[in-house]
Amino acid sequence: MAETLKITNLHVSVEGKPILRGVNLTIRRGETHALMGPNGSGKSTLGNAVMGHPNYEVTEGTIELNGEDVLAMDASERARAGIFMAFQRPMAIPGVKMADFLRHATTNVRNPSRKEGQELIPMRQFRKELTEKMDQLRMDVEFARRYVNDGFSGGEMKRAEILQMAMLRPKFAILDETDSGLDVDAVKLASQSIAQIGREQAEGEEMGILIITHHDKLLENNVPDFTHVMLGGRIVETGGVELAQELYTEGYDRIRAAYPDAAAADAEMQQATAAV
């Protein structure tokens, strides 16, 4: 049976404010899922909660990876268990070189039981692999010497996130608006790279992918097996690729009309945000 990331009845609050109100979602390795929904509906919140951000408090529900309790793990353990998220807004870490950071990360994720201070993967092997992946993403080698996300353009940040995914070879990846901030050519390259990385994963098994997007481009090479629509902190409808096509051309009017409760919750969340 395929490895599975299973989210059941997930409720999440931020600063005591409920955002997610009972999300159910199951992703198997090899599947591609698209997650759509209006701004502020809770898509990034879902990703952050799955990745283990300490400010996103799970008040109810479960997240399991092959039956194991993900909620009991901190972010580091989740990464080592094979979960990855490409962030909508990655953090800058001034003074820390991409290469140093990635060498630590890659070592830990590939050898999850590694203790601090133990050997890192050999420099030569790491460099070779990093250069290969950077070539594929058409990134200049100089990039590895820059400080993590420090002064990166929007496009560079997104590409750096994909590079990290390529090096870490996760079982499950959440890509949060990885297409925003990229020009047409860059989106195309990103789309192809994600598909390729998805196919090339460790142990011969493909990645399970959750793509959060408002556009069609990333989905061209990563045709979703399932499309989910989030509204007011809930997944209100699930369909195939045709649902994605409907949403990025027609918008969310039909969805709002069909799910008035969720639409009301969504409006409330939007207001709370506007008030801030």
Ligand X SMILES: Nc1ncnc2c1ncn2[C@@H]1O[C@H](COP(=O)(O)OP(=O)(O)O)[C@@H](O)[C@H]1O
Residue 164 binds ligand X, judged by CB under 6 A: no
- Tell the smallest beta-carbon distance from residue 44 to ligand X (Å): 3
Binding mask 244-273 for ligand X (x = CB under 6 A): -------------------------x--xx
For ligand X, the binding residues in 6-45 under the rule CB under 6 A are 14-15, 19, 37, 39-45
Does 54 help bind ligand X (rule: CB under 6 A)?
Answer: no
From 68, 69, 74, 140, residue interacting with another protein (rule: CB under 8 A): 74
List, as one string, the DSSP characters of 176-238.
ESTTTT--HHHHHHHHHHHHHHHHT-GGGPPPEEEEE-SSSHHHHHS--SEEEEEETTEEEEE
Under the criterion CB under 6 A, does residue 170 sit at the interface with ligand X?
Answer: no
Q: Which amino acid is at 97?
A: K
| Coil, helix or strand at residue 91 | coil
Beta carbons of 57 and 14 less than 8 angstroms apart? yes
With CB under 5 to 8 Å by kind, the binding choice for 238 among another protein, Mg ion, ligand X, none is: none
**DSSP line for 225-261:** SEEEEEETTEEEEEE-HHHHHHHHHH-SHHHHHH-HH
Interaction site with another protein (CB under 8 A): 51-55, 74-76, 78-80, 84-85, 87, 90-91, 93-96, 100-102, 104-106, 108-109, 112, 116, 147-148, 164, 168
Interaction site with ligand X (CB under 6 A): 14-15, 19, 37, 39-45, 55, 269, 272-273
